[in-house]
């Protein structure tokens, strides 16, 4: 059903441009309000930058790669005859190395390290566990997490109590979430780690332990089987060498005692020892060859972790730039104030427009009623 309206609800492009110009003129008219709000926000952010605590970031860069073997086909064939497999190179993943740096065990071991430092100004340095320094450094967080009264007393994972392990887990979760960051830089081709805290010494000591312990753990984890083989071959070679030395000394004593031997029956023990020495020598030669091949395999598979930037020389103080904060505050103040003023004008215009429409509708209804009365009177006449 269609009927005539006393007003037009349609909006065309011209009306939009008109509205835009109207809002622009309104904002220009209110320039002093925008300027005051922008200046106030800029000053507020400047005070925030000054009030914000200083953080110390300890940085470390790692180059992780495997040792590429050369042409070892002949050695590989020789090793296969002894039952040892040799590869010419090993692939290592940066994701595994970065995961080790953030592992629960490694971080907890770092927190159980004793160091001499202080995390509060005016307090003399003391020797204590890093976990205790962390709780002392963030008292509000410790109170919120209910670890304010926590005091670590045991320095190894095996001797931890249930309560100590639970509190270390809470600290670990906080450190991983907010204080430690690891990534692989595609531009530099290196693994990067950053540790931040309110104390320079704490950042350095934690990053230093994670860097060296993580590197050692990564290398050992990659060659654990090869290291077991080397140890086994080394022990076997040492035992055979000791046995061979004992047999040779015994043979020398027998030969010294049989210098004036006439009967051939006296040479039985001597010949038996010579045969045993020959067999042991052969077995020792084979074991020694296996040991050398196992050492070669171990060296071939051992990854190289080269620390380019050490935490000792890459710990810096991070302080927010007050000038940059003021510029950001001024820009945000301008944008936000303009949006608030425009929204305020839109609400006021909408209310006024609705009121005008209501008046037009009421006027229209009155005119319609008057016209109906006139038409009725005309019909009576």
Name the residue among 303, 115, 308, 93 with its Cα closest to residue 209: 115
Task: Tell me which of 75 and 126 has the higher pLDDT.
Answer: 126
Residue 164: count of CB within 10 angstroms of its CB: 18
Mean pLDDT for 134-156 is 90
User: In terms of residues, how long is the chain?
Assistant: 381
pLDDT of amino acid 167:
93
Q: Is the pLDDT confidence value at 31 over 50?
A: yes
pLDDT digits (tens, 9 = 90+) for 317-331: 666 566 777 788 888
Average pLDDT of the chain is 76
With 50 as the cut, is the pLDDT of residue 121 above it?
yes
- Of 50, 48, 52, 42, the C-alpha closest to 326 is 42
pLDDT grade, residue 15 (50/70/90)?
low
Predicted local confidence at residue 247, as pLDDT = 79
Query: Tens digits of per-residue pLDDT, 259-280?
Result: 555 455 556 777 777 888 888 8
Average pLDDT over residues 167-193: 87
- 125: nearest Cα among 133, 117, 136, 115: 117
CA distance 232 to 239: 11
Q: What does the pLDDT read at residue 90?
A: 44
Band (pLDDT 50/70/90 cuts) for residue 73 is very low
Say what the pLDDT of residue 70 is. 42
CA distances from 274 to 189, 246, 271, 332 (A): 61, 12, 5, 95
Residue 78: band (very low, low, confident or very high) from pLDDT cuts 50, 70, 90: very low
Percentage above 90 pLDDT, the chain: 13
Token duo for residue 361: 């509708």
Q: What is the CA radius of gyration of the chain?
A: 42
CATH, range 55-223+305-318: 3.30.1890
Angle at 160 between CA 158 and CA 166, to 5 degrees: 125
Rounded to an integer, the average pLDDT of 192-213 is 88
The confidence score (pLDDT) of residue 250 equals: 78
Whether pTM > 0.75 for this model: the answer is no
Lowest-confidence pick of 15-19, 134-138, 173-177, 331-335: 15-19
Compute the average pLDDT of residues 151-163: 89
Confidence of residue 88 (pLDDT cuts 50, 70, 90): very low
Res 125 pLDDT > 60? yes
Q: How many CB atoms lie within 10 A of CB 152?
A: 22
Tell me: pLDDT of 143 over 80. Answer: yes
Tell me the pLDDT band of 75, cut-offs 50, 70 and 90. very low
Tens digits of residue pLDDT in 275-320: 888 888 888 788 777 777 767 766 666 566 666 767 766 566 666 5
Mean pLDDT, rounded, for 91-95 = 66
Pick from 68-77, 287-296, 335-344 the range whose average pLDDT is largest.
335-344
Q: Residue 351's pLDDT band (boundaries 50, 70, 90)? A: confident
């Amino acid at each position: 059903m269609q009927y005539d309206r006393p007003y037009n609800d349609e909006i065309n492009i011209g009306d939009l441009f008109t509205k835009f110009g109207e809002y622009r003129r309104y904002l220009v008219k209110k320039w002093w309000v925008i300027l005051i709000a922008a200046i106030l926000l800029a000053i507020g952010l400047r005070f925030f930058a000054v009030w914000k605590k200083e953080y110390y970031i300890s940085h470390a860069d790692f180059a992780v790669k495997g040792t590429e073997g050369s042409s070892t086909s002949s050695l590989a064939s020789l090793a296969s005859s002894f039952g040892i497999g040799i590869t010419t190179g090993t692939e290592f993943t940066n994701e595994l190395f970065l995961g080790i740096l953030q592992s629960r065990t490694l971080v907890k071991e770092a927190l159980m390290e004793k160091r001499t430092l202080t995390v509060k100004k005016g307090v003399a340095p003391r020797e204590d566990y890093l976990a205790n320094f962390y709780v002392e450094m963030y008292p509000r967080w410790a109170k919120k997490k209910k670890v304010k009264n926590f005091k670590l007393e045991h320095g190894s994972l095996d001797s931890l109590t249930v309560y100590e392990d639970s509190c270390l887990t809470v600290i670990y979760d906080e450190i991983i979430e907010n204080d430690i960051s690891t990534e692989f830089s595609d531009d530099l081709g290196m693994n990067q780690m950053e540790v931040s805290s309110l104390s320079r010494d704490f950042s350095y000591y934690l990053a230093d332990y994670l860097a060296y312990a993580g590197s050692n753990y990564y290398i050992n984890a990659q060659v654990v089987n090869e290291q077991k083989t080397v140890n086994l071959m080394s022990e076997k070679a040492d035992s055979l060498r000791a046995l061979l030395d004992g047999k040779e000394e015994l043979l020398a004593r027998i030969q010294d005692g049989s210098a004036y031997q006439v009967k051939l029956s006296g040479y039985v023990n001597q010949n038996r020892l010579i045969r045993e020495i020959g067999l042991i020598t052969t077995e020792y030669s084979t074991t020694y060859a296996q040991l050398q091949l196992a050492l070669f395999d171990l060296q071939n598979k051992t990854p190289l972790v080269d620390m380019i930037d050490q935490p000792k020389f890459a710990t810096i103080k991070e302080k927010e730039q007050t000038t940059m904060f003021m510029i950001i505050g001024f820009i945000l103040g301008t944008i936000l104030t303009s949006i608030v003023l425009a929204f305020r004008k839109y609400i006021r215009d909408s209310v006024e427009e609705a009121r005008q429409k209501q008046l037009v509708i009421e006027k229209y209804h009155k005119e319609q009623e008057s016209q109906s009365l006139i038409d009725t009177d005309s019909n009576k006449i």
